[in-house]
Amino acid sequence: MLSALDDRTLNSTQEGHLGGLLQGATYIAGISGGSWTLMSLILSDFMPLVKLRHEWDMFEPLLEGIPNLAQIEVSRADIQVLPAGLHEAGEDFYQKLNNIDKRDQSEDYFEGFAYDDVFEAFYSSLELLSDLDADEDENYIGNDSNGSESQDQGEVTEAVAEVVIIGPDVEEDPVYLEGILAEHSDNISLEELLKQAEPADALQKRAEEQIWAESVKTFFKDVFKKKEEPKVTAQNILPGIQFSKNLSLKNMRKIFSFYKSLHLEVCSKKAAGYPVSFTDYWGRALSRRVFPKNSRSPNITFSGITNLTSFSQYQQPFPIIISNLREPGLEKTSVNSSLFEFTPYEFGSFNFSMFCDLRYLGTLLNEGEPLFHINNRSICHRNFDNAGFITGTSSSLFNNVLIYVWQLAASSSKQKSQAIRAVLNTFGLTSSQNSDDPKKHPDYALYSPNPFFHYGDPTNKELYLSKNLYMVDGGEDGQNIPYQPFMQAARQVDVILSIDSTADIKGWPNGTIIQNTYLRYNATGHSGTTVTVNGMIKSINLFPDIPDPEEFVDKGLNKRPVFFGCHLEKYHHRDELPKARGVNSFLPPIIGYFGNTEYSYPSNTSTFKLTYGNEEINKLMENAYNIVTTGNSTTDEDYPRCVGCILIKREFDRKARSMSILNDMEIPDFCNQCYSRYCYN
């Protein structure tokens, strides 16, 4: 849909089209799957969408070995605790993997990263099944589509976290403090911490040697070695998945090589002392498939885009990525959820009115100040804001893939499902929960340490008291469209153009998502704004009235462009009296809504369809183009001019309240006709 608004798209500026609106936008936000396109766009230095799509590897699955899945209707609550009978059949096996950390240290196992329970169990699970076909070439080393093994090795060393010392008249000098964050101890002294410090070159070299010596040894030992055991097939290893008949075990090695490469890339974060989660791996997988080819290495940060030409010269809209804060064990709704946003400069939430410098996310802070200092110089960490990790945080679809695997485990036989169950156990899907231990919640994106620890309002316990922040998919609270960032007075947004690709009914949206945001702003506790309506001061909601899904579908609002909130007098008036006799200069933005619909092609593909052919991509893009332009204005030749009328409606509203410089202008009759045609209320 963005290509329809991009004036660099062929013919997009001709009569009946909307090319140029993207260039005229001040902000652009992405949430869940939408964050993929947004991050790819900004990392490409604002490359034209029609060109950028050729940078995506959509012919390869996002996750090697995972098939295209239908929509999954299982919630996180359904899988957080394994059923009691799930591990009864193999108690010894289950118990062995449930106590990985308690193994005899004399055993020859993954010594360098013994704390990495997830992959330790993964490799062990493969051993407990049968190893790969003994007839295959034992010296085979798989390559993914992203490049050679040597390229992966180089990327790992570039991603080692950096620590900088900041103080008066001091440049940011890199120092590496291994394990500081892993300790999280209130008792360790500064002297003891400084003893852990090593010169950058020494630690980097040691980390590199440790990662490769142990990772490669373990991987080839547990995955690629020969064994005199019965042959197995891909179908044996993952029962229930319909593999292609020509999937050879050599291709299976390619799959394992893909995950090995992800693992090696994530290891540098682990070596720096940070806990890792599924989202780290998911983020690396996304980077390999949907990021521009020159932006796929682990050292690409979100804050780094400020150095791009298109950003520094204001040629691209200001990007915002949305995620949700989630306290383990507590369910949140669209009304009371806590939304966080990432921008190239900050990470934080308007819900709490707190933000921190994105460059130093990952720094151990207390009461808003760095906990460690050297000669009055603060010790801060950098490079935590990995672009893939942030994208993965907003779109934690990996968690839903695990739901699919959980379903397989629940329905498989004892012998075939033991490994799946064991791996799920290491992923935190067990009967025991501990909100203080980030290892117990690896299905969340872990932001540890919490930059807002002991900062702000003490009554906000999930933020004030928690040493870790648990972030989830930005749409998990039922708000798949990121409206909140643009409802802030400081941003002075007049119009929001939103795209709804939610699968509410048979893969199509029905307005539930936009109504959820309306209910949020209509609820007690969410502030409104004060405006004049017919000469009287009124307190109104920030979000316009939205019909319920039944009316939404009956009126066909999900199948054509519609704009909500054009007329301020139609907003919901609050019962409360205005706190001040004055009015706010900020007028709530008009909401433009474009629902995914079949205009020229059935675009209701599953969220979990992970591969697309070139012809299908072309048809999907053409359909989206037609949705935004109503088929190049074939249904209404006045449509582009009507959109223009809506874009300047708020300026006319300000003029009517003597807040505009356009005091000599009146709303044209043509625009009033457009408002009647395209504005819901």
For the segment 171-183, the average pLDDT, to the nearest whole number, is 45
For residue 81, what pLDDT is reported?
Answer: 40
Could you tell me how far CA 6 lies from the centroid of its own chain?
A: 24
> What pLDDT is stored for residue 475 in this prediction?
80
The Cα-based distances of 348 to 463, 521, 549 in angstroms read: 11, 20, 32
Residue 307 belongs to a domain: yes
Which has the higher per-residue pLDDT, 55 or 411?
55
Residues 212 and 313 in one domain: yes
Q: Please indicate, yes or no, if residue 262 is contained in any of the structural domains.
A: yes
190 with 299, same domain? yes
Q: Are 223 and 252 in contact (CB under 8 A)?
A: no
Beta bridge partners of 539: 530
Interval 96-143: pLDDT, tens: 433 433 333 333 322 222 334 444 444 444 443 333 333 333 333 333
- Tokens encoding 202: 């020494």
> In this structure, how many other beta carbons lie within 10 angstroms of the beta carbon of residue 655?
18
Summarised one tens digit per residue, pLDDT across range 632-642 is 999 999 999 99
Residue 202 pLDDT exceeds 60: no
φ, ψ for residue 413 (rounded to 5)?
Answer: -70, 165
Query: Residues with Cβ < 8 Å from 510, sequence gap 6 or more?
Result: 504, 549, 552, 553, 558
Q: Phi and psi for 529 in degrees, rounded to 5?
A: -145, 160
Residue 185 domain-assigned? yes
Residues 349 and 411 in one domain: yes
In this prediction the pTM is: 0.77
* Placement of tokens 């874009």 in the chain: 647
Whether residues 234 and 176 share a domain: the answer is yes
pLDDT tens column, 318-368: 999 999 998 766 666 767 788 999 999 999 999 999 999 999 999 999 999
377: in domain:
yes
Residue 165's pLDDT band, with cuts at 50, 70 and 90, is: low
Cα–Cα distance list, 252 to 32, 66, 256, 620 (Å) = 29, 11, 6, 31
Distance of CA 248 to the CA centre of its chain: 33
Share of the chain above pLDDT 90, in %: 37
The answer to whether the CB of 482 falls within 8 A of the CB of 580 is no
Q: Does 52 map to a domain?
A: no
Specify whether 423 is located in the same domain as 571: no
How does pLDDT run across 92-106, given as a tens digit for each residue? 443 443 343 333 333
Residues 507-547 have pLDDT tens digits of 899 999 999 999 988 886 677 888 888 888 888 889 999 99
If you average pLDDT over residues 1-27, what whole number do you get?
A: 93
Last residue in a domain, options 472, 502, 529 = 472
Q: Which two tokens stand for residue 338?
A: 């806590």
The enclosing H or E element of 563 equals strand 562-564
Query: Do 341 and 383 belong to one domain?
Result: yes
- The Cα-based distances of 161 to 231, 299, 300, 347, 555 in angstroms read 43, 9, 12, 18, 53
Residue 363 lies in a domain: yes
DSSP codes of every residue in 198-241: E-HHHHHHHHHHHHHHHHHHHHIIIII---SS----HHHHSTT-
455 with 537, same domain: the answer is no
Give the span between the Cα atoms of 16 and 632, in whole angstroms. 5
- Percent of the chain topping pLDDT 70: 62
Query: Can you give the pLDDT at residue 153?
Result: 33
CA distance 212 to 204: 12
How far apart are the C-alpha atoms of 667 and 652, rounded to whole Å?
Answer: 7
Contacts of 405 (CB under 8 A, 6+ apart): 420, 424
H/E stretch holding 380: strand 377-382
Which range, 196-200, 210-214, 431-435, 548-552, is most confident? 548-552
Q: Say which amino acid occupies 458.
A: P
The boundaries of the domain holding residue 629 are 2-26+493-678
242 plus 322 within the same structural domain: yes
Q: Where are the beta strands (DSSP E) in 6-86?
A: 27-31
Query: Do the beta carbons of residue 253 and residue 260 sit within 8 Å?
Result: no
- Give the C-alpha distances (Å, rounded to integers) separating 329 from 77, 93, 132, 183, 440: 9, 28, 39, 25, 12
**Do 542 and 643 share a domain, yes or no?**
yes
Alpha-carbon distance 331 to 97, whole Å? 30
Gyration radius from the chain CA atoms: 27
Burial readout 266-291 (b: 16 or more C-beta within 10 A, e: otherwise): bbbbbbbbbbbbbbbbbbbbbbbbbb
Q: For residues 17 and 100, state if they share a domain.
A: no
Please report, in angstroms and rounded to a whole number, the separation of the first and last CA atoms in the chain. 25
CA distance 178 to 296: 25
The values of phi and psi at residue 368, to 5°, are 80, 5
DSSP labels, 280-326 = HHHHHHHHHHHS-GGG-STT-BSGGGGGSHHHHTT-SPEEEEEEEE-
Per-residue DSSP letters for 464-523?
HT-SSEEEE-TTTTS--S--GGGG-GGG---EEEEEE---SBTTB--SHHHHHHHHHHHS
Q: Which residue has the tokens 């039944």?
A: 550
- Reply yes or no on whether the pLDDT at 405 is more than 80: no
* Whether 267 contacts 173, CB under 8 Å: no
* Position 532 in a domain: yes
Q: How confident is the model at residue 24 (pLDDT cuts 50, 70, 90)?
A: very high
* pLDDT for the residue 329: 62
Residue 41 belongs to some domain of the structure: no
For residue 69, name the pLDDT band (cuts at 50, 70, 90): low
pLDDT per position as a tens digit, 436-447: 555 555 668 889
Same domain, 447 and 564: no
Look up tokens 């108690």; give the residue.
91
Mean of per-residue pLDDT scores for the chain = 74
For residue 146, the 8-state DSSP code is T
Q: Both 205 and 353 in a single domain? A: yes
Q: For residue 536, what pLDDT is reported?
A: 85
Number of structural domains the chain divides into: 2
pLDDT at 251: 65
Query: If you average pLDDT over residues 623-630, what whole number do you get?
Result: 95
pLDDT band at 248 (very low <50, low <70, confident <90, very high): low
